[in-house]
Amino acid sequence: MNAIWLLMGLLVLSYLGSSLVSGRVLRGIGLPSGAEYVVLGFVLGPSALGLLEPSSIAAFEPIAGVALGWLALVVGLDFGFVGNRRVRRSRIALGVSLSLATGLAVAVAAWFVAARGAPSLSDADRLLLAAGVGAVSSETTRHAVLWVRQRYSASGKLSDLISDMADCDDLGPLLIMGGAFALSPQATVLWQIPFWGWTIVTALIGVLLGLIAVVLLGSDFRLIQSWGVLLGTSLLTMGTSARVGLSPLFATFAMGVTIAAVSKHREEIVAMVAPTEGPVILPALLLAGAHLNPKAAPFLPWVAAAALAARVAGKLATGLVLRVATPDARDTSPWLGVGLLSSGAVAVSVGLAFALRFPGPVGHTVLFVAAAAAVFGEFVGPQALRSTLRKAGELAAPERESIFFGRALAARPARDGAPSDQPSPPGKVEG
């Protein structure tokens, strides 16, 4: 398949994301993690059927990089908010801390497995591999939580807590990624800067250009001018960070957080850019799947297995910490952490960014772990989360539903005072 046909296919997926899969892949056709598009890309890619040629995939790598940076900007604009409700600072700190702890646990497991199974890797490559695997294994996708809440009309204190945790833990993988990219910057400076210094520089690039965007947006919000400002400053953020070998995703995420924190037009900006998330996610996931190469390294299966095991243990520990630290979760099931195993677009985006920045065994292993975590979480996470919320008495939805089409097969009336099972109005997301 040449580049023209691949372009047509990506445009079709973009149309699906904008027209059929509205509401952030929640109420339309698709799984909450988007794992089916990763699998589709793998099946069509060089490692399976070979319908997508390596040269065609390589031609779209710059476009994929821009798409990933834009997704990080959208995530940054929404960080710390669930809809228009601001998440409490204590919950933000708790969510970020638990995400980083899970990522650290997975990174340690990957380090030891790589040390035993890949003695040929240098210490720098082993550290980079461990950091990347930890980054793609630390999050819980907010899409899965919203998917369960909307589809089963869940509401209550536990639902709000889980939504807050899933929304805030996106900082964990992006922060780890920023530090990993800072291990090997391409810039030449007059003095030695440690990796944490380069990580701060990455964030400062996003903060500075975010402040410039706020100034250019001005006091009056105008749609046409706002698109030009956001596109221009975001591309400048991506280009600047990529030029010095730092993480464009972490930089644009910092830019989005800055705009959301400083601009008084945050709600209008989010309403403007939120519909673009679907059209960008699906082509990016397809390209990520096409880049998958299970035979990239002999140690890849062992690292992936260790990472999945450590991720399960980390999320189980996260659930136990939530039960102890937060009153809203103290009476829930000890298996609360299993419902947090879903990962999605953020993790896969980080994995693809690693594969593009560090082509070879390290990058391909990180991407494969991200895809494996997304597929595994799809089989376990939403069902476990639904069961947890049902035991907490926060579900008011049909027992049986089609996984892909979201139509109730056996409806029952909502309980008194509980939300109805009617879909949200177009353009609105519950929760």
Amino acid identity of 233? T
Q: Which two tokens stand for residue 84?
A: 């228009």
Contacts 24+ apart (CB under 8 A), 193-201: 198/246, 199/175, 199/250, 201/246
Whole-model pTM over 0.75: yes
- Residue 24: predicted pLDDT: 41
Phi, psi of 215, deg, nearest 5: -65, -45
Between the two ends of the chain, the Cα-to-Cα distance in Å is: 42
Question: How many C-alpha atoms does 23 have within 13 Å on its Cβ side?
Answer: 24
- Residue 249: predicted pLDDT: 96
pLDDT (tens place) for every residue of the chain, 431 residues total = 566 667 677 677 666 665 554 444 444 446 767 788 898 889 888 888 888 888 888 888 888 999 999 999 999 999 988 878 889 999 999 999 999 999 999 999 999 999 898 888 899 999 999 999 999 999 998 877 787 777 778 888 998 899 899 888 899 999 999 999 999 887 766 678 888 999 999 999 999 999 999 999 887 777 778 898 999 999 999 999 999 899 999 999 999 999 999 998 888 999 899 888 878 888 888 899 999 999 989 999 999 999 999 999 999 999 999 999 998 888 888 889 999 999 988 999 999 999 999 999 999 999 999 999 999 998 898 889 888 888 888 886 454 443 433 443 333 444 333 444 333 443 443 33
- Residue 260: predicted pLDDT: 93
With b for 16 or more beta-carbon neighbours within 10 A and e for fewer, the 52-68 pattern comes to bbeebbeebeeebbbbb
- Residue 188: predicted pLDDT: 67
Which residues neighbour 131 within 8 Å (Cβ) at sequence distance 6 or greater?
107, 176, 177, 179, 180, 183
**Which residues face 401 on adjacent strands?**
408
Domains of the chain: 3-391 (1.20.1530.10)
Amino acid identity of 246? L
Helices (H), 45-141: 54-59, 61-78, 89-117, 123-136
